[in-house]
Chain A
Amino acid sequence: MSVDAQDSPDTGELARTPEQIPEGQHGFWTGRSGLVVAGILAAIGAYLVVGIVIMDVPEGAKVPGPTFFPILIAIAVFVLAALLAVQTLRKPEPVPATEGNARFHTDWKSLGLVFGSFLAFALLLVPVGWLISAALLFWGVSRALGSRRPLFDVGLALVFSSCIQLAFGAGLGLNLPGGILEGIYG
């Protein structure tokens, strides 16, 4: 299980010292964005409920049937979502007042670039092939994480994806999609 150093208490000097900002300087949502998790839980619960209602239970299924356990989970999910929401509303996250709060907020640009790169990889893998889509993924992620040499990265990404293609495809016999380059190597 990987737990991030920042999330675990007292890992030495890594743990920052959050200084509370006086009340009233932030809007309602400051420190309460954790409600997102309660929302996700509620959404999971809703999906479970819909699934339980429309489930096609085969004739003669013994009791307790296939819906029994999911019903228990759905109840637990809703109870916990409510508890989480109450907890987040009553005790918002403390806002550390360092460097204009910049470090506290999520870097949506980098995050979006990583997410988008992986999505593109997933969608392009079969039509375009491993070599190019994996190189694109490598390039996108390294760019998102602050690499500043785009042209060099293109070369490195292509070398990296070809090495994997060689080692796993040719060496270990794993079937990686060839895509548009099918037939050129293989």
Chain B
Amino acid sequence: MESLSLLMEGFSQALTPMNLLWVFVGAFLGTAVGVLPGLGSSMAVALLLPVTFSLDPVGAFIMFAGVYFGGLFGDSTMGILMNTPGGATAIATTFEGHRMAKTGRAPQALATSAIGAFIGGLIATTLVVFFAPKLADIAVMFGPAEYFALAVFAFIATASVVSDSVIKGLSALVIGLALAVVGIDGISGASRFTADMPQLFDGISIIVITVGVLALGEVLHVASRIHRDPKLSAIAVSGRPFLSKREFREALPAWLRGTAFGVPFGVIPVGGAEVPTFMAYGTERQLDRKRRNPQFGKGAIRGVAAPEAAGNATSGTAMGALLALGLPTSATAAIMLAAFQQYGLQPGPLLFERNADLVWALLASLFVGLVMLLVLNLPFAPLWAKLLLIPKPYLYAGITVFCGLGVYATSAATSDLLIVLAIGALGFVLRRYGFPLAPIMIGVVLGPLAETSLRNAMMSSGGEIAVLVHSPVTWTLYGILALVLVYTAWRRIVSRARVDV
């Protein structure tokens, strides 16, 4: 129960009026960015990073705790009301959520998703509190070969599972890897692909890449279609924003099942919460088919509850993996990692010993943030939808200015603004041709880890490749990866066969 007393200390730090204010500001801004179409949780963190620069580390991370979950609460709101999910994690929620909204149950759909996000986040964060220190103990057993296996697992799983075309997924992945090798090589000190420009010696910052690929690419994409696509309109929300007892009982098992899907995926790097949300959605649909009165297709409350809980549960445990292993399992976590490094902190097994007060204050504020977000979202979700009353030109103009601000504020370098524009153009082209963007981020995030662990493993073995598969941990990881690939291939063949019939 040592964790509990440490957590209580964390709460005593998080519950000062000033820090409560920071959580609130973070949760508020995070939700606002998440609600905007096309911008999800990782954008919320990337764009709001400069806001925290002038705070002390504890205040900054407390604010991040709010932003982190806030983006996730927000992105399903638009999916439900307008059928435009804010991020990939909200797609699964959108199917049934938008149907519920069309049948006049928009408030219930919003409430189900908000409560689902709360439950998923709450359970996952609780697990992190009790198991993250133990995870850190296990992490000590991981050597370079094991980390390399983990990275390979993430690469292949993201590229093949998340996208509908393996070639497109892998192409996006190698673009990410190529972006990640620019800069001074950490092991040998050689300058790589910098064209002798000092601005590139530190590599291309993860913030520049995220803002370019996700935000600026999105703005360019919208610009290319604004006069082409039919106008979307949001469904008006009226009526009680609360669930009846019957609805609550209906959704409860789905919330819990969704959480169960989400929790493990925070630690397994497969590109964030996309996979678990779809697995949770698929499972609910399977279960629903066996019921006497199937609800799916008519706006099933469970189809909203399960993916939403899964998404937030993944984000909760992803925070645990980041703190205890130093392993970023999603783009959002990677930007958090960049934020840690900005303050001279290195997440990983040692963080719990060296910066215990900060870690526990952060974990405590995750709880505080969740409660605040429930309050902000449950009764006020219809108000968030009013953000869409801002005319589209001004909305995207504002987002673009914030992209510029965010990038310039992190580095104060004009060169970064030009790089972000180039990457934004690349992001637009990839969007235009239906390439998935998640593998790029995973390549950028885990590329350096893959490279250093691969080279360290081979250096220590004197060039033997066999070192990569020498331990049971690596066998297990490659084994699971093989199973995942076989399962994906089988699913594709089955679905193709079904289409043919």
List A residues at the B interface (Cβ < 8 Å).
1-14, 34, 36-37, 40-41, 44, 47-48, 51, 55-58, 61-66, 68-70, 73, 76-77, 80-81, 83-84, 87, 102-108, 110-111, 113-115, 117-119, 121-123, 125-126, 134, 137-147, 156-157, 160-161, 164, 168, 172-176
Contact = CB atoms under 8 A, between A and B. Distances in A.
9 contacts: A58-B189, A69-B451, A69-B455, A110-B224, A125-B404, A142-B396, A156-B394, A164-B401, A175-B412
Interface in B172-215: 174-175, 177-178, 181, 185, 187-193, 214
Given A4-B38, A14-B84, 4 more contacts: A64-B458, A70-B192, A106-B224, A147-B393
B401 A1 contact: no
Given A7-B434, A69-B451, A87-B167, A63 B459 contact: yes
B175 A41 contact: yes
B91 A147 contact: no
Given A77-B178, A103-B228, A141-B219, A118 B400 contact: yes
B398 A138 contact: yes
B191 A56 contact: yes
A64 B432 CA distance: 38
Nearest to B454: A69
B500 interface: no
Contacts of A172: 50-51, 53-54
A109 to B, nearest CB: 9
Interface of B: 38-40, 42-43, 50-51, 53-54, 83-89, 91, 94-95, 98-99, 164-165, 167-168, 170-171, 174-175, 177-178, 181, 185, 187-193, 214, 216, 218-229, 232, 271-272, 274, 331, 391-394, 396-398, 400-401, 404-405, 408-409, 412, 414, 417-418, 421, 424-426, 428-438, 441, 450-451, 454-455, 458-459, 463
Contacts of B435: 37
A118 B404 contact: yes
Given A1-B88, A4-B221, A122-B417, A73 B178 contact: yes
A146 B393 contact: yes
Contacts of A107: 223-228
A2 B401 contact: no
A11 B91 contact: yes
A11 B417 CA distance: 34
A24 B438 CA distance: 36
A126 B404 contact: no
Contacts of A175: 412
Contacts of B225: 103, 106-107
A110 B223 CA distance: 6
Contacts of B94: 11-12
Nearest to B457: A64
Given A11-B91, A70-B192, A41 B174 contact: yes
Contacts of B404: 118, 121-122, 125, 134, 137
Contacts of B228: 102-105, 107
Given A37-B435, A64-B463, A77-B174, A14 B83 contact: yes
Given A51-B193, A113-B223, A62 B187 contact: yes
Given A70-B193, A73-B177, A121-B404, A173 B54 contact: yes
In this complex, the member of B83, B171, B437 whose beta carbon has the largest number of chain A beta carbons within 10 angstroms is B171
A99 to B, nearest CB: 9
